[in-house]
Amino acid sequence: MTATAVRGAGEMSGRDRRLVFGGLMLAGLMSSLDATILGTALPTIVGELGGLDRIAWVSTAYALATCVTVPLSGRLGDLFGRRPVFLAGLLAFLAGSAACGAAPSMDWLIAFRVVQGAGAGCLMASMFALSADLFEPRERARYQSYSAINFAVSSLAGPVIGGFLTDHASWRWVFYVNLPLGAVTLTAVLLFLRLPRPEAKPRIDYPGIVLLGAAVTCFTLLTSWAGTRYAWTDPVILGLGAAVAGLVPLWVLAERRAAEPVIPPRLFRDRSYAVACVVALVGGATGFGLAMYLPMFFQMVRGADAAHSGLLLLPMMMGLLVASLAAGRRVAATGRYHRLPAASMAISGLGVALLATMTTGTGPVTAGLYMAVLGFGAGLSQQVVVLIAQNAAPPRDVGAASSGVFAARMVGTAAGMAVFGGVLASRFAEELAGRVPAGAVPANDGAVRPELLSTLPDEVRAGVAEACAQAFSVLFLTALPLLAAGLVAALLLKNVPLTSPRGGKAGTRR
């Protein structure tokens, strides 16, 4: 598929390819922004639609549908062509956005979020696979690095934009704002993207799709509910864990027998691809998984409010953005990438070790420097692993390879959030019991809400801050062995030259 696609893309002018990539970036921004923009609007949504007991499903439904469709859409692009798959995902996302904005009840909003999330998964995976069709590998490295901008903007600006639209227009515009942005993307793709359809008749791996979808669904619910909605020992969580443990081997067996598997097992026989997946999984857990809990540190230890604690993540996002852009430019200029994943794991390990030294006396500047180190480390491999996976895959599997490594990062993020959250909650409870008298802190299921801290006596508040700081130190130290394993895997990466689908060493288009 990709060799033919690149020949087709070669008929496009450089301006057309850049316009299409701009549309892909906008689509990626919309899909990642919708995962963060709702937080500040949810109280208003509940006030109008009701359904407080189902509020968590507004986010869970979106994440669940996204996680299911990401690994599927890459393979569907290989089989049916990436342009129609991307357009189908875009139309589903826009239809879901419009329906969410018009939702008459909480149940309908949750249902429409499933549609929106399914479209978002197609957009995320198709964005990277399409870039493989548009650009030669070295040129692609530079363009793919720009996608880090989407993550930084959505993480920092999402809550701000959601709050602004809710206060000055309506919460429904949190969804409606996607429509004009999506129209721009749709126009760019329809007018300027020209790729040939695959010539072979597609053979769909229905058992693989069903088993993978079921496994991902159970895993997403497990990581979303464990330690929050249900205790780790609750029968629901144990049942989900057993389902994942049973479904994954069945899926692997189905893939070995399928003519066109969703994620071909042959990909993992290539060392480069296997290493890329390991580094993506570790990077998702230690970079993005840990980042989800850092605002809690500033709220509980430093007394920051929710809005400001999110802004304090700016150094990490800037470190990630700078590293991603620098890595992309280096690969584009030299064609070399095999040392970047090892550097990513090592620098991320340094950042995590520095974060483990934080105490109640650590100031925001020092904490910002530590977070910048972690962000820089994460950014060195964020997009490089996608390039490695695409370079290792045969042309017919580029879409599956791209979505596979992207799915590995999502799995790592979800697993990291669940495991690290469990470690943090357990350690915090132990530290709190030793530093604060029993009953001195109002708690809900063992959790202390940050907004209650200002109502506590000074000595109790100081004890809570100390307990939280110690718990976070243990949390960061827990991540070090995982990064060490990622470093060992990254050191096994071979120096395989970037190759062109037309054969030979890839060069930069002019």
pLDDT digits (tens, 9 = 90+) for 56-71: 788 888 888 888 898 8
> How much is the pLDDT for 445?
46
Structure token pair of residue 456: 């506590």
Query: Is 238's pLDDT higher than 60?
Result: yes
> How much is the pLDDT for 203?
81
Percent of the chain whose predicted confidence (pLDDT) is above 90: 31
> How far is the C-alpha of 311 from the C-alpha of 290, rounded, in Å?
16
| Residue 99 half-sphere exposure toward CB, CA atoms < 13 A | 18
Least reliable range by pLDDT among 2-6, 333-337, 403-407, 453-457: 2-6
Rg (CA), the chain: 23
Query: Is 376's pLDDT higher than 50?
Result: yes
| Digit-coded pLDDT (tens) for 180-220 | 999 999 999 998 888 777 776 778 888 989 999 899 899 88
Q: Which domains does the chain have, with CATH numbers?
A: 1-203 (1.20.1250.20), 205-259 (no CATH), 266-496 (1.20.1250.20)
Query: Is 2's pLDDT higher than 60?
Result: no
> How far is the C-alpha of 195 from the C-alpha of 217, rounded, in Å?
33
Query: Is 485's pLDDT higher than 90?
Result: yes
Query: Is 439's pLDDT higher than 70?
Result: no
Helix (H) or strand (E) holding 431: helix 398-435
> How much is the pLDDT for 52?
75
| Residue 344 half-sphere exposure toward CB, CA atoms < 13 A | 37
Query: Is 366's pLDDT higher than 80?
Result: yes
Helix (H) or strand (E) holding 503: none
At 501, the pLDDT band (50, 70, 90 cuts) reads: very low
Give the position of tokens 């520095």: 354
> How much is the pLDDT for 291?
82
| Other beta carbons within 10 Å of 237 | 19
Least reliable range by pLDDT among 95-104, 134-143, 148-157, 415-424: 148-157
pTM: 0.84
DSSP state of 230: B
395, 2 in Cβ contact below 8 A? yes
The stretch 470-475 carries a mean pLDDT of 92
72, 195 in Cβ contact below 8 A? no
Residue-averaged pLDDT of the chain: 84
At 248, the pLDDT band (50, 70, 90 cuts) reads: very high
> How much is the pLDDT for 442?
59
The counts of H helices and E strands in the chain are 22, 0
Give me the phi and psi of 264, to 5 degrees please.
-60, 130
> How much is the pLDDT for 428?
85
> How much is the pLDDT for 254?
92
> How far is the C-alpha of 332 from the C-alpha of 458, rounded, in Å?
55
